A and B are shown apart, each in its own frame.
Chain A
Amino acid sequence: MKKLIVAIFLLAGTFPAFAQEQAPKLYTLPSPFDRYTHYQVTARYTGAVPLGSFSSNYIDKSSFENYSIALEWVFQNAFSVGGELGYSFFNKRLPRAIYSTDQGDISAVQTRTLTQYPVQIFANYHFLGKNAAIQPYVQLSGGGSILDYTVYYGSLANQYQKIRPTYGIGVGSKFLFKKDGNFGADIRIKYEGTSLDYDYVDKGVSSLNTSIGLFYRWW
């Protein structure tokens, strides 16, 4: 009996010691973000510069009324896939001018607008690990854009609404606020193109978009 009590005491002493030795090993395990496929949601604010014939024929004014939200599945390898839902609004006001049409001549102040709700799926390839402070990536995306093309002649509107194919290619980087953390920033530069052939826009809508975003990731 006495021997048993001594043995218990000894064991009681060794167990905490054992636990203390294991603790650093547990800590050095890879982060859950490296070990598991995890989720990430990113909200972005975007400045967009019109390009090509969209810029020269319709609206050349940059837009700062663009927002998007993306949900992303980040795999254990270097890839991630997700969906992004956006809102984008371009507009430009022209001084009064006379426009000749088949219906005659119209003198009006013209307000040109283009509103889009792009819904896209995307794939990212990341160049560094999930817990690197800076995580550069390249992105390809494609989907459909709920598009509203409206030219106002004074208070009269010529409106065209359609869902058109859209695509994008971009480079960006995620910046973790703290190692292993859930929050971070995202900067992305992306070319986006949407097919459209109507009225002033005959070769599609294209723009170069620079966005800043915040993300939250979890597993």
Chain B
Amino acid sequence: MLRKASFLIISATIWLTSCTKDPINNLSDSESQVFSTNHDKSVDFKTFKTFSISDSVTVVQNDRSVKALTSLDKDLLTRIITNMQQLGYTYVAANKKPDVGLSAARVTNTYLNVGSTPYSSYWGGYYGGYGYGYPSYYTYETSESFWSVSMLDLKNADATKQLNVIWDAQIRGNGIGNSNYIDGMVDSLFGQSGYLKIN
């Protein structure tokens, strides 16, 4: 009798554990997308007027990075410019001493620490020898592809002798390599960062 009882319990366990399901398999691409933004709360963005943007996107993959400018990358950079202008910033060339600099990266690495993301290659040309200062809260880990957009304080770089990341944003989820979503995704990043507005 006991044997019969244990058999019932074992069968029940197998039956119950087979019920595990995926609650997000019915999410559409746009529903699956996550926009996360963070900023240095000590910074008053109204002190900045001009901006520039790197002329290519950094592609980071397994500790290696290259520069790229696909049509998708162009769409992304263009939309960042549009959003910055709408927030009241003036777009200037990188050699015209912009107050803030923006750069974007396509990261397809696993367990990447932000400290290894090479934002410097572009801005390093103008601020050679400066280190990069990241706010202490600025850490994340990942096991997927995502877009990363960062804003650096160039105006105060001479005084602090480092390039501080004052705003950063990531786009994760499905369909983030689809050009149809680029404008909407970039708009979301800036849309949820109202503190960037200076006009």
Contacts and interface: CB of A to CB of B under 8 A. Distances in A.
A83 to B, nearest CB: 7
Contacts of A41: 8
Residues of A contacting B: mostly: strand
A182 to B, nearest CB: 14
A96 B34 CA distance: 9
Contacts of A155: 24, 27, 32, 34, 172-174
Interface in B153-199: 172-174, 188, 192-193
Nearest to B168: A104
Given A85-B13, A86-B16, A154-B172, A104 B36 contact: yes
A87 B8 CA distance: 16
Contact of A154 (B5, B34, B137, B192): B34
A101 B79 CA distance: 26
Chain A interface size, under 10 / 10 to 19 / 20 to 34 / 35 or more:
20 to 34
Interface in A51-97: 65, 67, 69, 71, 83, 85-87, 89, 91, 96
Given A67-B19, A86-B16, A103-B137, A39 B32 contact: no
Contacts of A98: 192
Given A39-B1, A87-B16, A152 B23 contact: yes
A17 B158 CA distance: 119
Chain B interface size, under 10 / 10 to 19 / 20 to 34 / 35 or more:
20 to 34
Contact of A104 (B17, B27, B37): B37
Interface in B1-36: 1, 5, 8-9, 12-13, 15-17, 19-21, 23-24, 27, 31-36
A152 to B, nearest CB: 5
A96 B30 CA distance: 10
A91 B23 contact: yes
B8 A106 contact: no
B39 interface: yes
Contacts of B12: 69, 85
Given A67-B16, A69-B12, A102-B137, A111 B23 contact: yes
Nearest to A92: B23
Given A83-B9, A154-B32, 6 more contacts: A71-B5, A105-B193, A106-B35, A111-B23, A111-B24, A152-B24
Interface of A: 39, 41, 65, 67, 69, 71, 83, 85-87, 89, 91, 96, 98, 102-109, 111, 113, 115, 117, 150, 152-156
22 contacts: A69-B8, A87-B16, A89-B19, A98-B192, A104-B37, A104-B38, A105-B36, A105-B193, A107-B35, A107-B36, A107-B192, A108-B35, A109-B27, A150-B23, A152-B23, A153-B34, A154-B27, A154-B172, A154-B173, A155-B24, A156-B34, A156-B172
Q: Which 10 A-B residue pairings sit nearest by Cβ, starting from the closest? A: A104-B38, A154-B34, A107-B35, A69-B12, A155-B32, A108-B34, A109-B31, A87-B16, A106-B36, A154-B32
